[in-house]
Amino acid sequence: MNRLHVCSIVLISLLLICGCQPRDPRAKNLVRGQGQILLDGAPLAGATVAFRAVPENAFPYSSIGVTDEKGEFTVRTFLPNDGIHPGQYRAMVIAQVQINALSAEEIDRREAAGLPIPNAVFRSLIPERYSDPDTSGIVVDIPDRGDRNIVINLQSE
């Protein structure tokens, strides 16, 4: 057997062993959750959305997603893109920008000179009420088949 055949057999064996079982036993009932966050009708990039089950003991783990430049996200619970458990959720959204960002060169200069590096300061891009699932007003129902069209519409007051 040549090296290519041995590598192929090993790769196929690994795929069969690892690919046929859930990576985390808690993830076996998760379904696909994908969507988009809009702020005043425009995609909100760089936002984090977190889902908390209602009631909280229905599913004890939070699920999260992070939006891309189109405001689109894919939900994860334990592993990247593994999904969300079906049920009802209250959601929260956090979208912030660092307002005192230093360049890498400035950080290097400060470190070399023994100067302190200031703590990061952030400003929210959305109203604060959205940062708490109890005040956000965002409720999402995930059906047993999953949902690839979750749309979260936020208003900037």
Domain residue extents for the chain: 29-154
Q: Which helix (H) or strand (E) holds 19?
A: helix 3-19
Beta-bridge partners for 122: 98
Give CA angle at 70 (69, 73), nearest 5°: 90
Task: Sort 142 into a burial class: Cβ within 10 Å, 0-12 / 13-18 / 19+.
Answer: buried
Please list the pLDDT of the chain residue by residue as tens digits (157 residues). 444 444 445 545 444 444 444 456 666 789 999 999 999 999 999 999 999 999 876 788 899 999 999 999 999 999 888 999 999 999 999 999 888 888 889 889 989 999 988 888 889 999 999 999 999 999 999 999 999 999 999 999 8
CATH topology (fold) of 29-154: Immunoglobulin-like (2.60.40)
DSSP string covering 49-103: EEEEESSGGGS-S-EEEE--TTSEEE-BSSSTT--B-SEEEEEEEE-EEESSPPP
